[in-house]
Amino acid sequence: MSLAAGPGRGHIAEGQLPEEMKLVVDKHVAYIQSLDTRRDELEYHLTEHLRIGGIYWGLTALHLLGQPDALPREGLLEYVRSCLHEDGGFGAAPGHDAHILYTGYSVQILTMIDGFEALEEKMPDGKHKVATFVANLQQSDGRFAGDQWGETDTRFLFSAFYTLSLLGYMPHQRPSEPPIIDVPAATAYIKACHNFDGGFGVAPGAESHSGQVFTCVGALSVAGELDSYLGEEGKDRLGAWLSERQLGSGGLNGRPEKLVDVCYSWWVGSSLAMIDRLHWLDKAKLTAFILQCQDPEQGGIADRPEDMVDVFHTVFGIAGLSLLGYPGVGEVDPAYCMPKHITAKIQRP
Ligand code: GRG
């Protein structure tokens, strides 16, 4: 699986009006299946550092399109296991350093293919080791580093929370054991990233960006602290900032004065869904925008109409359509970006 862009471009089929467009489900499934076969392209090898992310994005899209078995389970399992390190972390590809983001994607894949038994076969007590790898990345002020080199980011904090929760190691899931991480310190750090405009930045004092809003709102949601932290007034302020991301084309940008991009249908849409304000968007216009970014002949979704398609924008376009209730697309969980029927098994606070 690769992030490789193309071969197609997003556009409206000749002679079709935007309102006649439909999601080309079979084409998207075939597009995702084709990604791992393009090994003779330079881009396949240049995007090796994104491989495990690419698998998570492709597999999630397939689940939402109702084709969860369209990629071979054994191949997925073998690949994920080949990215595992002895300390419980996963790299983006075999031989790559372990990182919290790739560990999160690997755990999401294992959850979707029911692969934890196979993990334990390769690494006895594997779930616990993966959880320990994640927990050990927490810093004394509550935030999380991505790896042993120490860079911190709200993405890493969110990854830690959802990964531990999928593994069943969040403190609320193990009330009789000493907490593996300090949740109040982590959520206090999120609060420090909260801005006067209602949004969240990557670090305290940083500009609000809807990608970071997703990570902060997602982390608060996984920890069950969304209501206690934001309240109705905070949700209104954040909801106003998020809904202002919708521009005349119907698409969304990530922050003021920037271009629209299909992936913000997810980062903005899921954040609005988590604070119960998704109806503040014009859903019909956003749906039409996403559909205009697909390649109706070869499948795949691009960031904007006329640009090249790739698997990242394909999943976030489809997940966005799921939030919008597009017919035939499975329900997505706005905090985990995974099918809701799978995350329903997680013990939430
Ligand atoms: C499980 C869904 C899931 C995610 C894991 C990696 C991660 C956690 C979250 C990423 C959140 C994030 C920061 C998303 C934004 C990605 C993006 C398109 C960034 C582009 O930023 P700029 O500044 O683009 O290049 P703009 O649009 O502001 O010009």
Task: Output the pLDDT for position 194.
Answer: 97
**Substitution candidate for ligand 1 out of 59, 147, 158 with most atoms within 8 A of CB:** 158
Domain assignment present for 90? yes
Alpha-carbon distance of 250 to 237, in angstroms, equals 21
From first to last of its 349 residues, what are the pLDDT tens digits of the chain?
345 677 788 877 777 766 668 999 999 999 999 988 777 777 777 777 888 999 999 999 999 999 999 999 999 999 999 999 999 999 999 999 999 999 999 999 999 999 999 999 999 999 999 999 999 999 999 999 999 999 999 999 999 999 999 999 999 999 999 999 999 999 999 999 999 999 999 999 999 999 999 999 999 999 999 999 999 999 999 999 999 999 999 999 999 999 999 999 999 999 999 999 999 999 999 999 999 999 999 999 999 999 999 999 999 999 999 999 999 999 999 999 999 999 999 999 9
Residue closest by Cα to atom 7 of ligand 1:
155
Domain assignment present for 2? no
Query: Which one, of 266, 269, 190, 204, lies nearest residue 234 by Cα?
Result: 190
Task: Output the pLDDT for position 4.
Answer: 62
Burial class (CB in 10 A: 0-12, 13-18, 19+), 216: buried
Range of the domain at 216: 25-174+181-344
Give distance in angstroms: CA of 54 to centre of ligand 1: 15
Residue closest by Cα to atom 11 of ligand 1:
211
Domain assignment present for 11? no
Domain assignment present for 194? yes
Give distance in angstroms: CA of 212 to centre of ligand 1: 7
> Tokens for 219?
């982390």
Amino acid at 34: S
Considering its fold, how many domains does the chain have in total? 1
Domain assignment present for 1? no
Residues in contact with ligand 1 by the CB-under-6-Å rule are 101, 104, 155, 158-159, 211-212, 214-215, 254-255, 258, 261, 263, 267, 337
Domain assignment present for 136? yes
CATH (domain of 77): 1.50.10.20
Residue closest by Cα to atom 6 of ligand 1:
155
Task: Output the pLDDT for position 201.
Answer: 96
Give distance in angstroms: CA of 253 to centre of ligand 1: 11
Give distance in angstroms: CA of 254 to centre of ligand 1: 8
Alpha-carbon distance of 270 to 184, in angstroms, equals 24
Residue closest by Cα to atom 15 of ligand 1:
211
Domain assignment present for 5? no
CB 62 within 8 A of CB 29: yes
Domain assignment present for 349? no
Give distance in angstroms: CA of 155 to centre of ligand 1: 9
